[in-house]
A and B are shown apart, each in its own frame.
Chain A
Amino acid sequence: MASLQSIALPLGGECDSEDRLSDVLPALRAQHPMPLLVRQGAEIIGTVGLDAVVPSLQGGLDEVRVAQVMRPAARRDAGSNLESAAAALEEAGAEAVVVTEVAGLFSRRSEPVAMVSRSQLLARIGRNVVDKAPMKILRGHRDLGFNVPITPCQRNCPIRQDIATYIDYVSQGRYVDSWTVIHETNPFPSMLGRLCNHPCETDCKRGWDPGEEPVTIRSIKRFSTDFAFNQGLWIDYRIAPAKGRRVAVVGAGPAGLTCALDLRVQGYDVTLFEREAKVGGLLSTSIPPFRFDHRQLQWELEMIMATGIDVRTGTAVGDGDGELRLADLVQEYEAVFVSVGMMKGRILPVPGADAPQVVDAMRFLRIVSYDQIPEHFRVGGRVVVVGGGAIATDACQTSIKLGAAEVWMVAIEPEDHLPAFGNELHEAKEIGLRIKAGVLVKEVHRDPKGDVSGVSFAPLHELQFDPLSGKLIFASVREVEGAPRWRVDADYVIFASGQIMENPGTPIPLTPRGLVAADRGGHTGLAKLFAGGDCVQGPSFIVDAVGWGHRVARSIREYLGEDMAGDDGRLYQTIVERTDDHRQSETFARTEPPILAASRRYDMSEVEQPWSDQEAIVQSIRCFQCDSVHHYDESVCVLCGACDDVCPEKAIDVVVFGEDRERSSGGETRVCATSVGTPGEGGVAGEIYINYDRCTNCRICEDHCPVNCITFERVRFVDDSMKVVERPKLVRELPLLASA
């Protein structure tokens, strides 16, 4: 039986319990994984290891004494066995065992002579592991499965939309099927079909080649959704048998609604608390009407609500008067998901910012969303919007459409670095927006009556941007000393200079930046309490919020006892189908949906116009169908290598055992293993590998196969919890897009 003596190491470095952690850190690192002995006087009172850094880093290691973070030292005689040492560690909550020996022949005193750390015990347990198969370490993209046929667009999508499939269905004219596939992971395709930041297009394989542009994925999604809406279709969710477990969701934005839907479909009783008079969060209160179709949003919200979610609008959760207490919800429900977003605008505290004509952009857009004109906004007036992001652009365009005569967008960043993305800025300029970039707001001027009369700005030196995040480096923000300030006359000022979370109250844990402290799965570390979306991540995109909703729903299901290890949500059936032929893909160029002419964009009409069937099909044919996999009929393939020879992308390797053929594709996906005749008696055996990072689904291999053994197929899982029906007449009025 193995004894402690056999694995013990000599006592290493020591420190005093009153030492500062910062002083002992170099010794800790040098001796790791063996902890340092902690002495108080002559006595050993514990050990301190590198784990102590975690709880100490926030306050600063200078402020932490070793005594505050050390762990007790377990003790065992040198003759003890490993099991006894492990028990001692467990009993004492220790990270090392101090090994003792009797000091002398006639002594009763034990002296510490050596130490055994957790790491040594683990190493001893694992010393004889011979099967290396379970030894798992992932390094780099190749190991992470980037060489298997998961489409690049799908793996870049925060909600893993099955993009190649729904695009393929559009190219086949199966528009309703396409819309159903979209709905499997996306409850808001009408919004994301117009407003998504489309990370999928960023990584579309079609755009990898120089001179090529990605497929217009976002707009194809919009096309399918427009079709289903115009046909009066509806998704009837099959709700799992009731689990009798109650979950509260605080905040009915995209994250909260997605989570509520996922849980409801699984049979949970979900109650949704929303501060506003309508659900939708920023979708219904912060995005101006000319950017989307309100009727379609209402339709999508109705489909979610019709699953039986208990909606309580006009119900705020927080520590304020008349608000529900979060602690009470935690008490009452079995899990609570906080997804309150960042719905409060930030007004910079410059002189004059307390004037009545100064408003934050979130409030301004919220009022407009209730079909009202904000107080003090004057038709024919002059508006200054401070900020350069998407919300600033929306506030600018909304001001113009409400009748402002002159609208300025003023931002810190130079015009080519403005955070606004897409065509919105260009569209706004076409209808009269003026931009001043590279200046910092300093003062809102007021006339003798106290009303806003103008805003002044300080010019800045050239700014620098972080190459990784693309964001502004604070240290580079410096005013040009002595330069005259730039002043613009105005009678209404909108600050689009950031958003703040409205604190949902105790016991939510916060970060130093004022966000909710939670991990990527929404766990706050507090029992029953989950959080996600913008209130955890900071201001982000709609699709990210939907991703949060899905993730947190999984976390809540796991927390409430469901076994999630083998279950991947509500996807059940597997189908194998032939994919459409997209060989003409290279014939067509990328196009965007048309937009209204500038002369017709001075009201709240939707700017982006729908595609025709023809345009949508042409654009979907541009897709390479990266989800298609080769199917080789192994009973027919003769391993001739023709497919390997003709592949223009060098994506195929035909390996014939015993022949010295170059294997150059880098592909690891084996699609065929066959033999022709009897190997060794004139026959051959071999395998075929594909590199799906290279394959463009051009099907030249299929065309040149002399024995016609290649076809292209897709394997996918179908969500059988959804059924497409006609849109029902609702029996009750839902609080969706209420007017104030």
Chain B
Amino acid sequence: MTEISLSASIDPHRLAPEPGDPMVSELMRQEVVFCLPSTPADAIAKLMADNDVYELPVLLDRRPVGYVAADDILGRLAAGEIVVAGSDFAVRPPVTEVQARHILRTPALLVDEGQRVQEVVQLMAQQGRTTALVMHEDERPVGMLTPVELAAFAVRLMSGDLHPGGGGEES
């Protein structure tokens, strides 16, 4: 008589997430750094630099409508549409008419807080994105996943704090 493996005997969707592939909510940054469509480019740049985020979600009435990429801000700087005025010693605010709405990209990458991290990483890689906006089931953003959190997760994986794979996957 052939015995089947334990993992093949159980519906994988009834199993709790494995330590090596936790839910997004366990790993995410517990805050949402965002801007509005009307936010000027210099304020967006500051938000990005201060918070280590290179794709910044744009929310309207707390609803995601897209994102702004750092490359687009730097592109506008290169094109002379953002003027970093003043000398290095006597600075003045940058002069720009550029707002988030002018460099808005769509769609924002939205993931569920109950989704598995490995699935989200696959999505981010597939879509060439560095920020996933984590949504609660009530359609409100509750966190973010960026390379900073993923790198911390990778270190834990490698140190053996967590272990990927194991049982529970479909046979």
* A residues at B contact (CB < 8 Å): 1-3, 6, 22, 25-26, 28-29, 32-33, 49-55, 57-58, 60-62, 82-84, 86-87, 89-90, 118-131, 134-140, 144-145, 155-158, 160, 199, 346, 348-351, 387, 389, 412-413, 419, 440-443, 465-466, 468-469, 471-475, 477, 497-499, 509, 511-515, 517-521, 523-525, 537-539, 555, 558-559, 564-566, 568
A-B contact pairs, 29 of them (CB 8 A): A25-B158, A29-B152, A49-B147, A53-B151, A54-B130, A90-B75, A119-B49, A121-B45, A122-B49, A125-B82, A128-B94, A131-B43, A139-B30, A144-B141, A157-B138, A351-B2, A389-B11, A440-B6, A469-B17, A469-B114, A471-B14, A471-B15, A473-B15, A474-B15, A512-B122, A512-B169, A515-B119, A555-B107, A566-B60
Q: Contact: B112 with A125, CB < 8 Å?
A: no
Alpha-carbon separation in the docked complex, A155 to B36 (Å): 22
Alpha-carbon separation in the docked complex, A124 to B36 (Å): 21
- Residues of the B chain whose Cβ atoms lie less than 8 Å from the Cβ of A387: 11
Contacts A51-B147, A474-B15, A565-B37 given; indicate if A558 touches B106 (C-beta within 8 A): yes
The 8 Å CB contact of A537, one of B66, B84, B112, B139, is B112
From residue B91, how far is it (CB to closest CB) to chain A in Å?
5
Q: Contact: A134 with B54, CB < 8 Å?
A: no
Task: Name the residue on B nearest A474 (C-beta).
Answer: B168
- Residues of the B chain whose Cβ atoms lie less than 8 Å from the Cβ of A127: 46, 91
* B residues at A contact (CB < 8 Å): 1-4, 6-18, 23, 25-26, 30-52, 54, 59-60, 62-63, 65-66, 70-71, 73-75, 77-78, 80, 82, 84, 86-88, 91-94, 101, 104, 106-112, 114, 116, 118-119, 121-127, 129-130, 132, 135, 137-142, 147-148, 150-155, 158, 164, 166-171
Given contacts A58-B121, A86-B75, A137-B33, 17 further A-B contacts (CB under 8 A): A25-B151, A57-B150, A83-B77, A90-B78, A122-B48, A122-B74, A125-B46, A126-B44, A126-B49, A134-B43, A199-B137, A350-B4, A469-B23, A471-B16, A472-B10, A474-B10, A515-B119
Q: Contact: B62 with A474, CB < 8 Å?
A: no
Contacts A53-B150, A86-B75, A513-B12 given; indicate if A520 touches B47 (C-beta within 8 A): no
- Residues of the A chain whose Cβ atoms lie less than 8 Å from the Cβ of B40: 134
Q: Contact: B32 with A138, CB < 8 Å?
A: yes
Task: Name the residue on A nearest B129 (C-beta).
Answer: A54
Contacts A82-B77, A122-B45, A137-B31 given; indicate if A468 touches B126 (C-beta within 8 A): no
From residue A25, how far is it (CB to closest CB) to chain B in Å?
6
Task: Name the residue on A nearest B114 (C-beta).
Answer: A469
- Residues of the A chain whose Cβ atoms lie less than 8 Å from the Cβ of B135: 520
Task: Name the residue on A nearest B48 (C-beta).
Answer: A122
Alpha-carbon separation in the docked complex, A139 to B32 (Å): 7
From residue B165, how far is it (CB to closest CB) to chain A in Å?
10
- Sorted nearest first, the 6 A-B pairs with minimum C-beta distance are A126-B46, A498-B11, A466-B16, A123-B49, A87-B78, A520-B110
Q: Contact: A511 with B42, CB < 8 Å?
A: no
The 8 Å CB contact of A83, one of B51, B78, B126, B130, is B78
Q: Contact: B155 with A25, CB < 8 Å?
A: yes
Q: Contact: B140 with A145, CB < 8 Å?
A: yes
From residue B167, how far is it (CB to closest CB) to chain A in Å?
5
From residue B169, how far is it (CB to closest CB) to chain A in Å?
7
Alpha-carbon separation in the docked complex, A350 to B88 (Å): 74
The 8 Å CB contact of B65, one of A51, A57, A564, is A564
- Residues of the B chain whose Cβ atoms lie less than 8 Å from the Cβ of A520: 110-112, 135
From residue A119, how far is it (CB to closest CB) to chain B in Å?
5
- Residues of the A chain whose Cβ atoms lie less than 8 Å from the Cβ of B109: 519, 523
Alpha-carbon separation in the docked complex, A520 to B87 (Å): 46
Task: Name the residue on B nearest A131 (C-beta).
Answer: B43
The 8 Å CB contact of B9, one of A138, A440, A555, is A440
Q: Contact: B125 with A55, CB < 8 Å?
A: yes
Contacts A25-B155, A349-B4, A440-B9 given; indicate if A513 touches B150 (C-beta within 8 A): no
Q: Contact: B158 with A61, CB < 8 Å?
A: yes
Alpha-carbon separation in the docked complex, A55 to B129 (Å): 9
Q: Contact: A523 with B107, CB < 8 Å?
A: yes
- Residues of the A chain whose Cβ atoms lie less than 8 Å from the Cβ of B48: 119, 122, 126
Contacts A53-B147, A86-B77 given; indicate if A144 touches B62 (C-beta within 8 A): yes
Alpha-carbon separation in the docked complex, A120 to B54 (Å): 12
Q: Contact: B130 with A33, CB < 8 Å?
A: no
- Residues of the B chain whose Cβ atoms lie less than 8 Å from the Cβ of A49: 147
- Residues of the A chain whose Cβ atoms lie less than 8 Å from the Cβ of B1: 351, 443
Alpha-carbon separation in the docked complex, A441 to B139 (Å): 40
Task: Name the residue on A nearest B6 (C-beta).
Answer: A477
The 8 Å CB contact of B16, one of A22, A413, A465, A519, is A465
Q: Contact: B74 with A89, CB < 8 Å?
A: yes
Q: Contact: A83 with B70, CB < 8 Å?
A: no
Task: Name the residue on B nearest A537 (C-beta).
Answer: B112
Task: Name the residue on B nearest A500 (C-beta).
Answer: B170
Q: Contact: B123 with A517, CB < 8 Å?
A: yes
Alpha-carbon separation in the docked complex, A50 to B152 (Å): 10
Contacts A119-B49, A125-B94, A565-B66 given; indicate if A53 touches B154 (C-beta within 8 A): yes
Q: Contact: A129 with B151, CB < 8 Å?
A: no
Contacts A138-B141, A471-B16 given; indicate if A22 touches B158 (C-beta within 8 A): yes
- Residues of the B chain whose Cβ atoms lie less than 8 Å from the Cβ of A130: 93
Q: Contact: A125 with B155, CB < 8 Å?
A: no
Q: Contact: A123 with B71, CB < 8 Å?
A: no
- Residues of the B chain whose Cβ atoms lie less than 8 Å from the Cβ of A1: 87
The 8 Å CB contact of B74, one of A90, A199, A564, is A90
Alpha-carbon separation in the docked complex, A591 to B169 (Å): 42
The 8 Å CB contact of B34, one of A51, A136, A558, is A136
Q: Contact: A513 with B170, CB < 8 Å?
A: yes
Q: Contact: B155 with A128, CB < 8 Å?
A: no
Alpha-carbon separation in the docked complex, A594 to B158 (Å): 56
Q: Contact: B13 with A538, CB < 8 Å?
A: yes
Among B92, B141, B155, B171: residue with most chain A CB under 10 A: B155
Among A87, A140, A389: residue with most chain B CB under 10 A: A87
Alpha-carbon separation in the docked complex, A412 to B14 (Å): 10
Q: Contact: A138 with B42, CB < 8 Å?
A: no
Alpha-carbon separation in the docked complex, A49 to B141 (Å): 27
- Residues of the A chain whose Cβ atoms lie less than 8 Å from the Cβ of B32: 137-138
Q: Contact: B139 with A160, CB < 8 Å?
A: yes
Alpha-carbon separation in the docked complex, A695 to B40 (Å): 38
Q: Contact: A29 with B151, CB < 8 Å?
A: yes
Alpha-carbon separation in the docked complex, A440 to B151 (Å): 39
From residue B33, how far is it (CB to closest CB) to chain A in Å?
5
Q: Contact: B75 with A517, CB < 8 Å?
A: no
Q: Contact: B47 with A474, CB < 8 Å?
A: no
Contacts A86-B75, A138-B34, A471-B15 given; indicate if A6 touches B88 (C-beta within 8 A): yes
Q: Contact: A134 with B152, CB < 8 Å?
A: no
Q: Contact: B84 with A82, CB < 8 Å?
A: yes
From residue A68, how far is it (CB to closest CB) to chain B in Å?
13
- Residues of the A chain whose Cβ atoms lie less than 8 Å from the Cβ of B47: 126, 135-137
- Residues of the B chain whose Cβ atoms lie less than 8 Å from the Cβ of A123: 45-46, 49-50
Alpha-carbon separation in the docked complex, A648 to B56 (Å): 43
Q: Contact: B10 with A477, CB < 8 Å?
A: yes
Task: Name the residue on A nearest B119 (C-beta).
Answer: A511
Q: Contact: B122 with A517, CB < 8 Å?
A: yes
Task: Name the residue on B nearest A564 (C-beta).
Answer: B65
Q: Contact: A348 with B94, CB < 8 Å?
A: no
- Residues of the B chain whose Cβ atoms lie less than 8 Å from the Cβ of A413: 14
From residue B101, how far is it (CB to closest CB) to chain A in Å?
8
Q: Contact: B169 with A521, CB < 8 Å?
A: no
